[in-house]
Amino acid sequence: MKNILVINYSQTGQLDEILENFLTPFKDFDIERLKIYPKNEFPFPWSSEVFFDKMPETVLEQPIDLEPFELKREKYDLIIIGYQPWFLSPSLPVTALLTDPKFKPILKNTPVATVIGARNMWINSQKSIVRWIEEADGILVANIPFCDKVQNHISALTILHWMLTGKKNKKWGILPLPGIKQSDIDAAEIYGQPLAAAAKNANFDGVQKEILDKGGIYIESSIILIESRAKKLFRMWAKLIKRKGTTPEKRAFWVSFFKWYLLIALFVISPPVVFIHTLLKPLLRSNIKQNQRRYLYLGIKNKPAIKGSVAI
C-alpha cells in the first residue's frame, strides 16, 4: 500500500474541506493526515489592525513557532502540502513548516503536490514554495490552486468581510458569499483522481496536464499583471514598516499607512490599469498564454513540451 502524507494549516477550515474532498480518490492509500497549528493561534475574526500587522513578517518570510508535530515515517510515496497565500506570500504557518530543518529532509527525492486555497493571488507565494521544495530536493509534480472566481474587487470586499467579522455571509445582503465557491470545494475530488492514479503507478509524468485538462483551473491575465507588480511593493512596505516601526505606536502608524495604501491601490489605481490591460489583451495574447502556462506549471518536473490549452 502506498503511503502519503497530507499536511496543511487552515484557519477557517476552508482548506481542510478542500483537502478532504481532494483525497476521496485516495481510498486505497495509507494516508497520514497532519494539521499544523501555530503556537500562538491567529485571532478569528481578525481585527483590522492585527490583520494588516501580519504583512511585514509574512512577506519577509519570517517563520513563527508551530505546535510540535511528529511524522510517522521517514519516507512517503507522495506528500501533499496544502497552503493558503497571505499577502502574496505563503501563510506564516506554512513558511514555518517549509523552512523547518526538521521537516525539510522528508521532502528529499519525494514527489510533492501542492493544493492551494486562495482568494485569487497565489503566483508569488508558489514561487517561494517551489524554491523551498527545490532546496529540500523534493520533486514538485502537481499544483492545484482553488480560488474564489468572482471579480477581483468583489472578492477583496467579501473576503475582508469574512476575515474581519468571522461571518461567511453575503456582505450588504447582496454580494456573493466569501471564499471559494462551495461547488468548487465539493468538486475537488476530480483533481485528486489523476494524482491518485499517478501515485498508484509511481509515475507522475504529465499529471499536471491531466489535472488542468479537467478544466476550471485558470489564471486571469489581470491577476498576473497585478501580482507581477505588487510583491515588489509589498517587500518595500514590509522593510519600511520593520525599519520605522521601532515602537508599538510607530509600527501601528506605519501599518495603518500601508492599509490605506493597499486599499487605494486596489480600488482606485488598479481599475484603470486593468481596464487598459483589457483593451490591450488582443495584442498581448501570445504573451499572456505563455505566462499562464508558465505559472500553472511553475516548478513542475516532467511538464509536457506542447503549448498548454489554457483559456485566457
Examine residue 145 and tell whether it contacts ligand FMN (CB under 6 A): no
Examine residue 111 and tell whether it contacts ligand FMN (CB under 6 A): no
Residues 6+ apart with CB under 8 A from 53: 251, 252, 255
Residues 6+ apart with CB under 8 A from 204: 111, 139, 141, 142, 198, 301, 302
Between residues 123 and 212, which has the closer beta carbon with respect to ligand FMN? 123
Out of 53, 66, 112, 119, the residue judged to bind ligand FMN by CB under 6 A: 119
Please tell me the total number of residues recorded for the chain in this structure. 312
Examine residue 191 and tell whether it contacts ligand FMN (CB under 6 A): no
CA atoms within 13 A on the CB side of 207: 28
CB 87 within 8 A of CB 53: no
Examine residue 156 and tell whether it contacts ligand FMN (CB under 6 A): no
Between residues 110 and 158, which has the closer beta carbon with respect to ligand FMN? 158
Examine residue 270 and tell whether it contacts ligand FMN (CB under 6 A): no
Examine residue 22 and tell whether it contacts ligand FMN (CB under 6 A): no
Out of 139, 163, 198, 212, the residue judged to bind ligand FMN by CB under 6 A: 163
CB of 237 to ligand FMN, least distance (A): 13
Examine residue 139 and tell whether it contacts ligand FMN (CB under 6 A): no
Q: Three cell numbers at 199?
A: 501515485
Compute CA 82 distance to the chain's CA centroid, rounded to the nearest angstrom. 8
Out of 6, 80, 97, 121, the residue judged to bind ligand FMN by CB under 6 A: 121
Examine residue 12 and tell whether it contacts ligand FMN (CB under 6 A): yes
Residues 6+ apart with CB under 8 A from 10: 16, 35, 82, 84, 117
Examine residue 231 and tell whether it contacts ligand FMN (CB under 6 A): no
